[in-house]
A and B are shown apart, each in its own frame.
Chain A
Amino acid sequence: MRSVRAFAATAALSLLAFSTIALAGQPKQGGILRMYHRDSPGNASIHEGATYSLNVPFMPVFNNLVIYKQDEAQNRMDNIIPELAESWAWVNDNKTLSFKLRQGVKWHDGKPFTSADVKCTFDMLMGKSQQKFRQNPRKTWYEQVNDISTNGDFEVSFNLKRPQPSLLALLASGYTPVYPCHVSPGDMRTHPIGTGPFKFVEFKANESIKLVRNPDYWREGRPYLDGIEFTIIPNRSTAILAFVAGKFDMAFPTHITIPLLKDLKSQAPGAVCVVEPTNVSTNIIVNSTAPPFDNIDIRRAMAMALDRKAFVSILFEGQADVGGTMLPPPQGLWGMPKNMLESIAGYGPDVNANREEAKKLIQKAGYGPDKHLAVKISTRNLAEYRDPAVILIDQLKSIYIDGELDVVETANWFPKIARKDYMLGLNLTGNAVDDPDQSFYENYSCGSERNYTNYCNKEIEKLFDVQSQETDITKRKKLVWDIDKKLQEDVARPIIFHARTGSCWQPYVKGVTVMSNSSYNGYRYEDVWMDK
């Protein structure tokens, strides 16, 4: 009898424990997610900006045609899912991308969403509509799009000049929301209207951004949260202390540097933190139009003198990645394999041997122990720019290059680069989508507005087009590796490292996924909930 009772008690306890676990795992509705924001974005229009300071608070207001699955860390072609589109198809020899659109979707002001909104948005992005964006930083993404055609209210097609499989990836980015036709670009900067899981409430510059749950959201049962409140705290110390004190449920994504992560974990041991690559590379822009860097030997010597591991260990305690233009694997989809990377001059593991080679090149150019080359290394007046620039100066000393740090205010940075008023610049390049089309065309294509160094190699440009049209991923990968290798050998924009940073949240916040190969695409927040 006693054993039967014991069995019954055990069974009851097990059942209770099981149901508790099940309940704990069940998403709960309600609650306001409180997050600090690292700075005050200039406006609220995602299409007019190029910083994830915009995407984090405003991506939840919108929907795309398609989106990367928000609960998977790696952005890949095979985890793109429909959002405002219900389905898509490549037709006409892969020169037309057609979407069937979701019906019954409403904008936050109650007006219906139709194919006209899609056409309006992309016509504006391509600069083909009467209404213009004040700024249009991603116009080049749609260079292969001839036009957008609609067929009724719920079918839209992107007609391309040539096949470009990566268009789908670009459309899945957090940078590609669909805007309403009936709201002007000016109004979208101050009061965005979307179809997304959260409605915009207010944006007080330097103070706060408030979003509230969209009760008419087309995805049933979502979002779980009643709202999201961002408090703008530019001072990193204050922001992190406030997170530690429990004033916020979540730290601003990717805001915690590796050294700070240790402090944070010691002060808030319960916090959940993940470290992921941001797909932001730190690189050197070289003015090859003027002496001394018009000499390829000096450019190569400089690239060969880099001790990338030293950068990574000093700035990231070993937690960053060395690679070429594309983010290295395993998080990066297109990065060169290690053996290929190490075959590039300057990437080999023996730094001293690399530097000996570099010394020969610099001596060939007429410099040496008795005649140092004096250069100015310009960079923006931000810690993530300044710190690696200082290390770079130190490393260049080993090959008789004496660097002087030239710190430039943000307002003057691009005008200075555009004037070619620099010798070497330390720069950061963020990639919104882990796809070669975005990176190659934007940063290395002849005439691209973001190709700051005006690097132009027609041969490589042809290869850009070849890889861009390739539908076989394995073949495309090989083409991309070859291009990336050539870009590094050409010292087009020597990549020093790819950064990693930490993202933290309180243990009761569930359903957060930090993207591992982009820091621009994972902020829809419709699956986030709070277990409290």
Chain B
Amino acid sequence: MFAYLVRRLFLMLVTLFGISIVIFFLLRIVPGNIVDILFAAAGYVDPADKANLEKELGIDRPLIVQYWHWISGFLRGDFGYSYVSEKPALQEILPRIPITARLAGLALLFSASIGIPLGVISAVKQGTRLDYALRVVSLSGLSLPSFWLGLLILTAAVAMFGQIPIFNPNPATWLEAFATYAVPAAAVGFRSAALTMRITRSSMLEVLRQDYIRTARAKGASDAAVNYHHALKNAILPVITVIGIEAAFLIGGLIVTETVFNIPGVARFLVEAIRWRDYPIVQNLVMFIAVVVVSANFIVDMLYAVFDPRIRYTD
């Protein structure tokens, strides 16, 4: 198990190093930089002012020097300053992380707590009206873009209740605070829940046809015991994989959801930073997301090992 852990950790570090190079150079390949944008916003270009500003921000230096400056700073915990707000990058990024983390956590919780039970029910009740109804729900979850669903929720809330569930930075009660996150989490988690449900269903159907399930039933085990203890435990591995991947993909959905619900999280902030070519923010933020995703995958790998002891020895 220790060797397995070390191998995975090493792989994780190599991946992060590769990502840092990709982030840095991809960002430079995109045409235009912060200075171009600032002058575009000001509606004029003065070559001398432009050169001064490029020098001030250090983006006139060779790329390799810029990379070293960034990555060495990153490793030392010096994340530089935002080009736009001129505040420390960490000061800009940190307060937004808990907001997105709460939203993503709730969305994943929504996805797992709705998707897994419904997937099991759908599999157990295969071919019934309930199964068909649940499959329609899951298909709609996969088909509806989250921004559209989000706008629909907002429009319906305004039309029906005269209220709009957009982000409230100062909620008066815990219920209000919960609602601030729950509605957008449901909007973004609906797609994940649908996917989780489909994977759970197909995985369960496969397991439910296994001989050992028949044996368990022959031994007189209850339906609940067979479905949840024997079948689900063995069907859950692909579901965990999907939830792990979804955690990574969630950031894409969150960009849209944070925009529609006006949530000041990291996802929307990242898009704005890319728009402004705010390199210190984009690089550090994407690196942070990479760390989270790689760590999530690492945890999933560890969970594999916990759930399936064979992995520890064969991998």
Contacts and interface: CB of A to CB of B under 8 A. Distances in A.
A245 B15 CA distance: 47
A207 B170 CA distance: 13
Nearest to A411: B32
B190 interface: no
Contacts of A235: 259-260, 262
A15 to B, nearest CB: 37
B40 A242 contact: no
Contacts of B269: 205-206
Contacts of B85: 43, 190, 203, 205
Interface stretch (A59-67, A78-86, A132-140, A318-326): A132-140
Contacts of A43: 84-86
A204 interface: yes
B36 A415 contact: yes
Contact of A410 (B40, B155, B157, B158): B40
A40 B264 CA distance: 12
B229 interface: no
A7 interface: no
B14 to A, nearest CB: 33
Contacts of B38: 42, 134-135
Nearest to B57: A134
Nearest to B161: A245
A279 to B, nearest CB: 14
Interface stretch (B41-49, B68-76, B212-220, B293-301): B41-49
A55 interface: no
A18 interface: no
Interface string A187-209: 00110000000000001111110
Interface stretch (A46-54, A347-355, A490-498, A501-509): A46-54
Contacts of A205: 82, 84-85, 92, 269, 272
Contacts of B31: 409, 411-412
Interface in B18-63: 31-33, 36-46, 49, 52-53, 56
B127 interface: no
Contacts of A246: 162
Interface residue tally on B, bucketed by range: 35 or more
A233 B86 CA distance: 21
A154 interface: no
A137 B38 CA distance: 11
A330 interface: no
A233 B268 CA distance: 11
Nearest to B278: A205
A186 interface: yes
A132 B51 CA distance: 14
A267 interface: yes
B42 A137 contact: yes
Interface string A406-421: 0001111111001000
Given A241-B154, A409-B32, A415-B32, A42 B45 contact: no
A234 interface: yes
Name the residue in B39, B41, B164 with the highest tally of chain A Cβ atoms < 10 Å from its Cβ. B41
B110 interface: no
A3 interface: no
B163 interface: yes
Contact of A206 (B32, B33, B39, B264): B264
B284 to A, nearest CB: 15
A43 B87 CA distance: 11
B245 interface: no
Interface residues of A, number: 45
A49 B42 CA distance: 5
A521 interface: no
Contacts of A186: 86
B169 interface: yes
Given A208-B169, A411-B32, A411-B37, A50 B42 contact: yes
A233 B85 CA distance: 18
Nearest to A415: B36
Contacts of B79: none
Contacts of A449: 44-46
B42 A135 contact: yes
B166 interface: yes
A136 B53 CA distance: 12
Contact of B154 (A51, A238, A410, A450): A238
Contact of B40 (A203, A231, A413): A413
Interface in B215-246: none
A126 interface: no
Nearest to A243: B164
A49 B44 contact: no
A237 B52 CA distance: 39
Contacts of B268: 206
Contacts of A413: 40
A238 B41 contact: no
A414 B53 CA distance: 16
A137 B163 contact: no
Contacts of A244: 158
B146 to A, nearest CB: 13
A397 interface: no
A246 B53 CA distance: 42
A280 to B, nearest CB: 12
A137 B164 CA distance: 39
Interface in B131-167: 151, 154-155, 157-159, 162-164, 166
Contacts of B201: none
Name the residue in B37, B53, B87 with the highest tally of chain A Cβ atoms < 10 Å from its Cβ. B37
A50 B44 contact: yes
Contacts of B87: 190
B181 interface: no
Nearest to A410: B40
A446 to B, nearest CB: 15
A247 interface: yes
B279 interface: no
Nearest to A54: B41
B58 to A, nearest CB: 14
A208 B260 CA distance: 16
A511 to B, nearest CB: 26
A237 B151 contact: yes
B158 A245 contact: yes
Contacts of A409: 31-32
What are the 8 closest A-B residue pairs judged by CB atoms, nearest first? A411-B32, A449-B44, A245-B164, A137-B42, A207-B264, A50-B43, A50-B42, A411-B37
19 contacts: A49-B41, A137-B42, A190-B85, A190-B86, A205-B269, A231-B262, A233-B262, A234-B259, A237-B154, A238-B164, A238-B261, A238-B262, A241-B154, A409-B31, A410-B32, A412-B36, A414-B44, A414-B45, A449-B46
